[in-house]
Amino acid sequence: MRAEAIFTGTELLLGQIVNTNAALLGQKLAAAGIDLYHQVTVGDNLERIAAAIKTARERADLIIVCGGLGPTEDDLSREALAIALGLPLEEDPEARTSIEAFFRSRRRPLLPANLKQALIPKGGRSLPNPYGTAPGVFLCHDGKYYALLPGPPHEFRPMLEEKLLPLLEALGAGQQVILSRVIKITGLGESAVEEMVRDLLHRDNPTLAPLARPSEVSLRITAKAPSPAAAQELISTLEKELFNRLGNHIFGTDEETLEGVVAGLLTGQGLTLAVAESCSGGLLAHRLTNIPGSSSFFLAGITAYANEAKEKLLGVEAGLLKKFGAVSEEVAVAMARGVRLATGSDIGVGITGIAGPAGGTPAKPVGLVYLAVDFRGKLTTRQEILNGEREIIKYRATQSALDMLWRALTGRKA
């Protein structure tokens, strides 16, 4: 079954709220074996919502309209569906009874506008909403299914999960399941990853698609099959091939993060860590200490921005700073060694660079970062020239440091 989602609300178009319902709907429909091919966002305009519904019915079997079920004048989804299908609106007795009970239980006056929420297109049925006054609507018309769901997430989720999806399942809407697995990659750019898996990107089932984030690339495997076990088997076959090609760069799957994986390795190996940061401003320490249980491996984080702080707190020699400058491989090494010795940790990390937007020179441009990892005296260094705004450069610097730690702890080559 092909589905299309229409999200109503001018506030969505203006960016005043984030549409979390869209992500949830996509996940739930995929798990139900329903293909969601289009998502459309429309402002609070009757004609445009009706036009979106007419367009959707030409290319989908199931049209889900989210939002616009409230009592105010800009809540127009019921009216738009009725216009699009050429159906009159009729009061649903069950919906009216539910609305009246809602207001009575809260000792609030029932206004005439609230009874608008009991109207549904002829031939439809209301979907109970125990968390609000707006019932949902489900309708079958000319071989197509239509559903109206409330917009507030605390009403949308339960109506989707407890009312609409069981109803669709009973109608045999999802004959297959759709499962996905995300493969997380570090140390390679999107174009490099795509080149290494180009021949796999045009498969029909399972499909493979690249997803890019700052300093991290993911590959999403999606399989469709009659059962979860069959879909998982399809995913596993392709996943093995990806590990054969990209194994030195795959650090995790699905919801795993690079800092979480590094934390797990440190804990599992009984190792301790301390970090010394300049241009990243403590972001590496922040990311690592966001991991529950980080006290078992994280000893200290020192943000040494000024040269004087590097000298006093980390033991970086003044002559080294004068000769090579604060942004140099030599100083990154001294920071990593200094924080390791100062804290007695097994591993020390040093980060120094120019996050911008000012401070760069032709010899040392904005985005130049030096990193060092001191693992019980064994040194690894790296020079990066990172692009982006200040916050992105800081994030990418810490991602590079985590990549170095991951490789030091796993023996993976860069």
pLDDT profile of the chain (414 residues), mean per 10: 96 95 94 92 97 98 96 93 97 90 86 89 94 92 96 96 93 80 94 94 93 86 92 96 96 96 98 98 98 97 97 97 97 98 98 96 96 98 96 97 98 92
CA angle in degrees (0–180, nearest 5) for 61-66-70: 135
The pLDDT, as a whole number, for residue 102 is 85
With a CB cutoff of 8 Å and minimum separation 6, the contacts of 297 are 263, 266, 267, 271, 272, 273
Distances in Å between the Cα of 388 and the Cα atoms of 192, 257, 404 are 19, 21, 21
Strand ranges inside 308-393, DSSP E: 347-353, 368-375, 378-385
Assign domain 177-253 one CATH number from 3.30.70.2860, 1.10.10.10, 3.50.50.60, 3.30.70.20.
3.30.70.2860
Task: List the structure tokens of 35.
Answer: 């293909």
2-170 under CATH 2.40.30.40, yes or no: no
3-state secondary structure 60-103: CCEEEEECCCCCCCCCCHHHHHHHHHCCCEEECHHHHHHHHHHH
258-410 under CATH 3.30.1490.20, yes or no: no
Other CB atoms within a 10 A radius of the CB of residue 140 amount to: 12
The pLDDT, as a whole number, for residue 261 is 98
CA separation for the pair 352, 372 (Å, rounded): 9
pTM of the entire structure? 0.77
The pLDDT, as a whole number, for residue 76 is 96
Domains of the chain, by residue range, sit at: 2-170, 177-253, 258-410
Task: List the structure tokens of 412.
Answer: 């993976």
